[in-house]
Amino acid sequence: MIINLTETTTDEIVSTLLSEGVSSGSRVLTLVIDTDRDGLEEALVAAHGASLDHPCRVVAVVSPTNGSDDADDDRRHNGHRPDGSLGHLDAEIRLGHDAGAGETLVLFPEGEAARHADTLVVPFLLPDVPVVTWWPYAPPVRPATSPLGALATTRITNTPSQPDPSSALAALAPEYTRGDIDLAWTRITLWRAMVASTLDSLLCAGAVRGVVVAGEPHNASVSLMIRWLRLRLGVDVERVDAPEVPGIATITVRTDSGDLVITRKDHERVMITRPGVERPQVVTMARREPVATMSEELRRLSPDLVYEEVLATFAEDSAQAAVAEERTH
């Protein structure tokens, strides 16, 4: 069920929730989504899917549209309602099968209301449960101090949605605050577990001499995997572009006895080829969908210290590049 409210207020939305008998008793968190109209439904599909494991209230704040030809809409975009006052708020309340395992509030602020999205959201935050803010598309420059990010203890960005994901992740690195996380990192959870279990015996023997990671150019998950491997293994890790494969294509580990190769075979499986073993091993490892990555982060709700360590290498590289550029002038 979807209830549409036009020219509404936060008090009216709260009253409507109460009249519909909405209870917050079983909710484990409030998920705030900062999105636009084009990305709204896709973001809600992921949020509602994740809510099946983590019942939550979803509050989606939709960025104002621009360029309407309608005179009333033009006044709204300039911060005025048709009656001449500042600001405007429309909303949807989604319940039942339209809302996952909880209720969903979709807020469409315009004008002055859009400039104070945090004050719109506060009345809908559930008491005594964590607040998570998610940017499924363009992240703010500094998530922790953005209006909606400041409300949350966990802040989730999604640099894989950007035109140049690796650059977007590098831009976020200097602004990192504990509690930030990016879904590019969550996407490689299974890859990291696979690599760790496969290489344990080689690491104990000190047999790893180098690593080559082949993957999609500008892919943020590939960039994170390379930096994680460097930190974990303490060896050189080379990057090779493989434009035909989304994400990570292969990880080749150079050892004293030959190459160990982990290859993405298809959407569901990877193949492990070990030196001296004639028959490769095929292991199930499905590509991670948005519902799975969101569900993992909503389950964690605590700072990921390994991610913090890996992300810091981006900031270190930027600082070193700045120093090198200054020396050349």
Tell me how far apart the alpha carbons of residues 204 and 160 are, in angstroms, rounded to a whole number.
34
Structure tokens at 231: 């930190």
Give tens-digit pLDDT for 308-321: 999 999 877 755 55
The reported pLDDT for the residue numbered 24 is 72
The reported pLDDT for the residue numbered 320 is 54
The reported pLDDT for the residue numbered 221 is 97
Of the candidates 131, 188, 179, the one whose C-alpha atom is nearest the C-alpha of residue 157 is 179
Q: What is the mean pLDDT of residues 168-191?
A: 96
Structure tokens at 314: 């981006």
The reported pLDDT for the residue numbered 219 is 96
pLDDT at residue 329 is higher than 80: no
Note the CATH number of domain 186-284: 3.30.360
Q: Are 256 and 207 in contact, with CB atoms under 8 Å apart? A: yes
Q: What is the mean pLDDT of residues 26-32?
A: 93
Tell me how far apart the alpha carbons of residues 30 and 234 are, in angstroms, rounded to a whole number.
40
Q: What is the mean pLDDT of residues 49-68?
A: 85
Which of 4-8, 46-50, 61-65, 237-241 bottoms out in mean pLDDT, i.e. has the lowest? 61-65
- Residue in the structure block whose two tokens are 């803010």: 133
Q: What's phi and psi for 5, nearest 5 deg? A: -125, 125
Tell me how far apart the alpha carbons of residues 304 and 278 are, in angstroms, rounded to a whole number.
39
Q: What's phi and psi for 217, nearest 5 deg? A: -60, 140
Q: Are 22 and 105 in contact, with CB atoms under 8 Å apart? A: no
Q: Of 85 and 298, which is predicted with more confidence?
A: 298
Q: Considering Cα of 143, then 147, then 153, then 158, what sign does the dihedral take?
A: negative
pLDDT at residue 201 is higher than 70: yes
Which of 61-70, 204-213, 287-296 bottoms out in mean pLDDT, i.e. has the lowest? 61-70
Rounded to the nearest 10 degrees, the angle between the axes of helix 290-300 and helix 37-51 is: 60
The reported pLDDT for the residue numbered 106 is 97
For 57-66, give one letter per residue: b (16+ CB within 10 A) or e.
bbbbbbbbee
Which of 78-92, 118-132, 202-216, 274-288 bottoms out in mean pLDDT, i.e. has the lowest? 78-92
Q: Are 133 and 155 in contact, with CB atoms under 8 Å apart? A: yes
Of the candidates 197, 297, 294, 186, the one whose C-alpha atom is nearest the C-alpha of residue 253 is 197
Confidence of residue 62 (pLDDT cuts 50, 70, 90): very high
Tell me how far apart the alpha carbons of residues 144 and 156 are, in angstroms, rounded to a whole number.
10
- Residue in the structure block whose two tokens are 């082949």: 214
Angle CA(293)–CA(294)–CA(300) in degrees, nearest 5? Answer: 95
- Three-class secondary structure assignment of 149-165: HHHCCEEEECHHHCCCH
Tell me how far apart the alpha carbons of residues 60 and 19 are, in angstroms, rounded to a whole number.
21
Give whole-number Cα distances, 218 to 78, 144, 272, in Å: 38, 25, 25
Confidence of residue 74 (pLDDT cuts 50, 70, 90): very low
Domain ranges, ordered by start, for the chain: 2-67+86-157, 186-284
Average pLDDT, rounded, for the chain = 88
The reported pLDDT for the residue numbered 200 is 79
pLDDT at residue 16 is higher than 90: yes
Give tens-digit pLDDT for 232-287: 988 999 999 999 889 999 999 998 888 999 999 999 999 999 988 889 999 999 99
- Collapsing DSSP states into helix, strand and coil, what is residue 270? strand
